[in-house]
A = this chain, B = another copy of it.
Amino acid sequence: MPSSTPPTPAGSAARRVRQKEATRDRILDAARELFVENGVEATTMRAIAARIDYTPTAIYHHFRDKEALIEELCYLDFRSLASALVRIGEIPDPLERIRRMGLAYADFGFDNPSQYKFMFMTQSSHVPLDKVRVEKNNPEQDAYGFLVMTVDEGLKKGLFRPEFQDEHQLAQLFWSGLHGLISLHIAKADDPWIEWSDPRATIKLAVDVMLRGSRRQGP
């Protein structure tokens, strides 16, 4: 067998598949750049196409419509968020794990405001039910599921006050506490009305406040 054979998939059919995926990725990259630069709303299909020297209609051969394109980026970001959080999974103490997850989650939001915006600040059942892309409760892929599992572990170890029974409710409480600060800062950072404190410092305080306020007794 000659060494000139392409490494993974031989044959020109496979090459065409690869080429199609390549332009698909170029569309995604261009869209992401423009979304980050100008926001989702202000980014037009024409602009995305122009950036990679295609006609707008070419995009529709790769994505059903603009929303499907957004959803694809959203899906990729959900995975990258989850894999950023999962590195914290080894920390043995559930409470400390929650604390560290919170800080990492906030970092993700502040570092990627544009992604954060269309992940958590816009309506849309981001997963078409027939074609689930993210595996639920796989911590590699589902950050929310990971949080719920961690909270559940804390509940079973009796680390929280007795009024907390539902792991979903407590997880939503933690999550939304952070989300509030991140999203307000993204949406209203320019508002002269509010004198914003350093958001990362506030996040640290907020995480501590929520843990202290929900855990059983303690020193």
Chain A interface (Cβ < 8 Å from any Cβ of B)? 120-123, 125-127, 129, 136, 144, 163-164, 166, 168-169, 172-173, 175-181, 183-184, 186-188, 190-197, 201-202, 205-206, 208-214
Q: How far is the CA of A7 from the CA of B191 in the complex (A)?
A: 42
Which A-B residue pairs are the 3 nearest by beta carbons?
A180-B180, A213-B213, A176-B180
Q: How far is the CA of A118 from the CA of B210 in the complex (A)?
A: 28
Interchain CB contact under 8 A, A209 and B206: no
- The residue among A123, A168, A187, A208 with the most chain B CB atoms within 10 A of its own CB is A123
Interchain CB contact under 8 A, A177 and B191: no
Q: List B contacts of A144 (CB < 8 A).
A: 193-194
Interchain CB contact under 8 A, B206 and A194: no
Q: How far is the CA of A188 from the CA of B98 in the complex (A)?
A: 22
Interchain CB contact under 8 A, A120 and B193: no
Main SS of chain A's interface residues?
Answer: helix
The answer to whether residues A173 and B202 also contact, given A168-B197, A180-B180 and a CB cut-off of 8 A, is yes
Tell me the smallest distance from the CB of A150 to a CB of chain B, in Å. 16
Interchain CB contact under 8 A, B125 and A164: no
The residue in chain B whose Cβ has the minimal distance to the Cβ of A134 is B193
The residue in chain B whose Cβ has the minimal distance to the Cβ of A205 is B173
Among B126, B181, B202, which residue has its beta carbon within 8 angstroms of that of A191? B126
Q: List B contacts of A164 (CB < 8 A).
A: 205
Given A173-B206, A180-B181, 11 more contacts at CB 8 Å? Answer: A126-B191, A136-B193, A173-B205, A173-B209, A176-B202, A177-B210, A180-B183, A209-B209, A209-B210, A211-B213, A212-B212
Q: List B contacts of A176 (CB < 8 A).
A: 177, 180-181, 184, 202, 206
Interchain CB contact under 8 A, B183 and A175: no
Q: List B contacts of A193 (CB < 8 A).
A: 125-127, 136, 144
Tell me the smallest distance from the CB of A217 to a CB of chain B, in Å. 12
Interchain CB contact under 8 A, B183 and A173: no
The answer to whether residues A120 and B188 also contact, given A168-B195, A179-B180 and a CB cut-off of 8 A, is yes
Among B123, B187, B192, which residue has its beta carbon within 8 angstroms of that of A127? B192
Q: List B contacts of A136 (CB < 8 A).
A: 193
